[in-house]
Amino acid sequence: MSLIKRKRVLLLGLVYLCFSLFAIASDDLSSKDFERGLFKEPFQVYQQLLLQTPDKLNKDAYLWWLLRKAQAEHLLYLYDEFEVSINNALNYIDETTPLLIQSRFNLFQGVVYRNKGEYNKALEYLASALEQAKRGGYEAPYIQAKLENAFTQGVAELFEVSLTDMQEAYVKAYGLNDQFLIAFINETYGAIYGYMFDYDKSIQYYSKALESYEQLGYKAHIAEAVYGLATTYRYWKKYDLAITYFERYREISTYTPNEEISFYAAYGLGMTLAEKGSCDKALEVIDLALAKKGVIDYNSELLKNKAICLIQLDRVEEAENALNKANRLFESMPDLMGTTWQLETLKIASQIAKSKKEYELSYQLLDEYYQKYTEVLLKNSTDRLFKVRADMELKRQDVEKSLALQRNKIESLKEESLEHKHTQQQYIVIFLLMIIVVIITVIVIQRRNNNKMQLLAITDPLSGLYNRRYIFNYLDKTLAGMSAQKGALSVMLIDIDNFKEINDKYGHPTGDYVIQKIAEIGQEILRTGDVMSRIGGEEFLCVLPRATEQQAKEVAERLLKAIAEFQFQYKNNDPIHLTVSIGISSFSESSQSYDIIYSQADKALYQAKAKGKNCIVLH
């Protein structure tokens, strides 16, 4: 959702291609040269436009002027003026207005509603823009409408539809062989792959777009590509790179005199600092961003991260207030209800309940979150979606190779696209049947598991972590929805070295204190989404969803180091230095059940003890 802002400039970018097909030699406003000048120096061109308002009696000339004015306002982040220009144009547009102009303003209206979080309305206007461009035979505007529609579908997490639109737009776009249009497509791919968590591809496409924009000298588009790179690195948890790019964005966005643009830099830095764990600094930047005039869905994301930071700082009441504000914003955006962005509020509410020691409520909220989150993942991670992605990438490579050899390959690709569309219809039926089977299976399994879980206490009273029964049920439930081809998971089995000696030498109260501190250190080191439990005595079990063996090892190394460096001092006793041993096992084709994975982790832990303790062993 936070990537919406990336597109606020891009919708205007393609207009110069659209207008190039409709240019009138005697009218400078409709020429490609005027468009290029606007992209290079938007503020100077905007000032010139304000000084040369045409006669309203010449309706077409006045509409061209409004269109260019709105375009410049969007590049300069003058959103109020942008919307006024669009509304003024609608008063003059009728059925006699050229289809190209009608299509442009419908597209602008779609973007206005998308920025307000009203995605269904946005899609309606984009559909009108698409139909008008197609009816008028304007290929470039048709491509632009396809791309904007694809991006909007991606924001709403309708990835399969989004990728299908991208595929069609891609085949048509390369037929025009225009550097800016290709850059625009690469940036759209970057945004959509970012939403689908394929960050490596997202960075690749954003980098290609940035290189093209820098060659063209288009300031606003350069800023947008840099912002896209920063946001993707943030989602990828490469926080130092994210901060570097957000700072770069703040520097290059001075091309516009509108100070409200600083909201986006503050938003990106605040979100990054919060996710990095630098909560004191993050709260300052987040409050600065919230005080500015920002986009509504951006504010909801800021409030969520503000609540998480306040929880970490033990300011629970303030965290509840921030979360309530975020929930009210989501309620004003019904099209985002049920998406992963909105569902995260349940997880935050669970953390608040846990901080208030309302463990039963905490579990209920967390269980509700994982149920709904799993349903979204199943929806967005189907075999059909992976096939569409694979087809898209293969066809993209084929088109790029064919352009170097012969331009007439474009026609054959169009025919192939029609055949692909026919294949899609067949897969839709299979896809729907698979979804029905999955839903029925999940409902049956979940009902059975819920009946069992209601009878069990879920919290270990000493450490405050989940207990043995909960973690094994959770692990079993998580594995049931996975396959070796799709998904990763690792577990860490942790044992305190020489714990009996600590109890014998310092007494059981000191031993209890050590267990509590180990639990606190573990929860600080583990990633968001990881689950830690105490399964008995001095033994802990951690489940790391979506973690490969290497990623689990990196987490274990941080934990091992943090515990070894910590001074355990109970009351006035002497400080104690202690270590732990860790065994790691990962989900694989031969290890798909919780008992096998746990047994392997236990064997690895035994080997770690045998090697002299204070080490990590991978099974």
pLDDT digits (tens, 9 = 90+) for 286-344: 998 888 877 788 889 899 999 999 999 999 999 999 999 989 988 888 878 888 888 88
In terms of domains, do 513 and 608 share one? yes
d(CA 298, CA 314): 25
In terms of domains, do 418 and 535 share one? no
In terms of domains, do 384 and 481 share one? no
- Assign 368 a pLDDT band (cuts: 50, 70, 90): confident
- Assign 162 a pLDDT band (cuts: 50, 70, 90): low
User: What pLDDT sits at residue 15?
Assistant: 42
**Region 393-418 average pLDDT:** 54
In terms of domains, do 547 and 515 share one? yes
> Torsions phi, psi of 113, nearest 5?
-70, -35
Indicate whether 376 belongs to any domain: yes
Number of domains in the chain: 2
Residue 456 has pLDDT above 70, yes or no: no
Q: Name the more confident of 138 and 20.
A: 138
Last residue of a domain, one of 429, 455, 481: 455
What is the extent of the structural domain holding 510?
468-618
In terms of domains, do 402 and 478 share one? no
User: What pLDDT sits at residue 27?
Assistant: 46
CA-based nearest residue to 257, from 45, 71, 76: 76
In terms of domains, do 501 and 614 share one? yes
Amino acid at 512: D
Residue 465 has pLDDT above 90, yes or no: yes
**Region 398-402 average pLDDT:** 49
In terms of domains, do 441 and 497 share one? no
Q: Name the more confident of 148 and 291.
A: 291
With residue 543 as reference, give the H or E element that holds it. strand 539-545
In terms of domains, do 449 and 589 share one? no
User: What pLDDT sits at residue 23?
Assistant: 36
In terms of domains, do 476 and 386 share one? no
The whole-angstrom distance between residue 531's C-alpha and the CA centroid of its chain comes to 22
Last residue of a domain, one of 455, 479, 495: 455
User: What pLDDT sits at residue 452?
Assistant: 54
- Between helices 179-195 and 219-235, what is the axis angle to 10°? 20
Last residue of a domain, one of 406, 421, 455: 455
Q: Percent of the chain, pLDDT > 70?
A: 84
CB 296 within 8 A of CB 308: no
CATH number of 485's domain: 3.30.70.270
Kindly provide the residue ranges of all beta strands, DSSP E only, lying in 307-452, ordered along the sequence.
none
Q: Name the more confident of 159 and 589.
A: 589
Q: Name the more confident of 131 and 412.
A: 131
| Mean pLDDT value across the chain | 82
User: What pLDDT sits at residue 403?
Assistant: 46
pTM, 2 dp:
0.53
Residue 536 has pLDDT above 60, yes or no: yes
Q: Name the more confident of 131 and 386.
A: 131
d(CA 118, CA 356): 36
In terms of domains, do 441 and 564 share one? no
d(CA 605, CA 584): 8
CA-based nearest residue to 379, from 436, 331, 426, 423: 436
In terms of domains, do 388 and 498 share one? no
CA distances from 456 to 199, 281, 317, 360, 363 (A): 40, 40, 29, 10, 11
What 3-state class would DSSP assign to 532?
A: strand
Q: Percent of the chain, pLDDT > 90?
A: 39
Which one of 175-179, 275-279, 339-343, 372-376 scores highest in mean pLDDT?
275-279
Residue 489 has pLDDT above 90, yes or no: yes
- Assign 173 a pLDDT band (cuts: 50, 70, 90): low
In terms of domains, do 417 and 444 share one? yes
**Region 416-442 average pLDDT:** 80
Radius of gyration of the chain (CA): 28
Kindly provide the residue ranges of all beta strands, DSSP E only, lying in 281-325, ordered along the sequence.
none
Beta bridge partners of 585: 491
